């Protein structure tokens, strides 16, 4: 078959819809923007962080949100010696399962030890390092400092917690 005999048509892949986060995940992201963390109480009384909409054992809807601490304990971790583009830190760090104070389940986040793998261990205490809150009335243009560096503010995203750092009381 000659090339001129091949049927061709443009193909545009689109996703022309939007999705809302819903009341549970939306509340989690709103709390992050405001500088605190929430979990959800499961039917057996355990607190799940990040919160989920349905009980993992009974599949019942969950609605009772509770605030948990922004400090916690490293339960397990993996060292990232050569971070890739898009990872939360540009220097070596650890991904860790962190059980926050007041939670019964751990969540995954980055732990910054200044690039030193000897400064992380299972059982160590960590605390959240938050991005700053956006000043009231600040516009997008005001998000750069006089030297042109972009300042990032909390916006309702898991990376509103830049990372966790060693320290933090129980």
Tens of pLDDT, residue by residue over 50-81, are 999 999 999 999 999 999 999 999 999 999 99
pLDDT tier for residue 168 given thresholds of 50, 70 and 90: confident
- Rounded CA-CA distance 94/109 in Å is 8
- Rounded CA-CA distance 17/22 in Å is 15
Q: pLDDT value at position 140?
A: 61
Cβ-based neighbour number of residue 74 at 10 Å: 21
Query: In the predicted model, what is the mean pLDDT of residues 81-100?
Result: 96
Note whether residue 39 is domain-resident: yes
Note whether residue 143 is domain-resident: yes
**Which range of residues forms the domain containing residue 107?**
20-166
Is pLDDT of 146 > 70? no
Number of domain units in the chain:
1
- Rounded CA-CA distance 143/155 in Å is 13
pTM for the structure as a whole: 0.82
Note whether residue 70 is domain-resident: yes
Note whether residue 126 is domain-resident: yes
Q: pLDDT value at position 137?
A: 76
Q: Tokens 């009974």 appear where?
A: 58
Q: pLDDT value at position 20?
A: 85
Cβ burial of 89 (10 Å; 0-12, 13-18, 19+) is middle
Note whether residue 5 is domain-resident: no
Query: In the predicted model, what is the mean pLDDT of residues 19-43?
Result: 95
């Amino acid at each position: 078959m000659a090339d001129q005999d091949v049927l061709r048509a443009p193909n545009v892949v689109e996703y022309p819809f939007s999705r809302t986060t819903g009341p549970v995940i939306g509340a989690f992201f709103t709390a992050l923007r405001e500088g605190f963390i929430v979990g959800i109480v499961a039917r057996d009384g355990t607190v799940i962080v990040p919160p989920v909409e349905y009980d993992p054992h009974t599949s019942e809807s969950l609605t009772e949100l509770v605030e948990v601490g922004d400090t916690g304990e490293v339960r397990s971790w993996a060292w990232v010696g050569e971070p890739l583009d898009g990872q939360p830190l540009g220097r070596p760090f650890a991904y860790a399962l962190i059980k926050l104070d007041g939670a019964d389940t751990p969540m995954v986040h980055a732990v910054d030890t200044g690039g030193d793998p000897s400064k992380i261990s299972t059982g160590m205490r960590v605390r959240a390092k938050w991005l700053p809150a956006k000043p009231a009335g600040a516009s997008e243009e005001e998000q750069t400092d006089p030297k042109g560096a972009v300042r990032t503010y909390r916006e309702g995203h898991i990376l509103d917690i830049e990372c966790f750092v060693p320290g933090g009381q129980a």
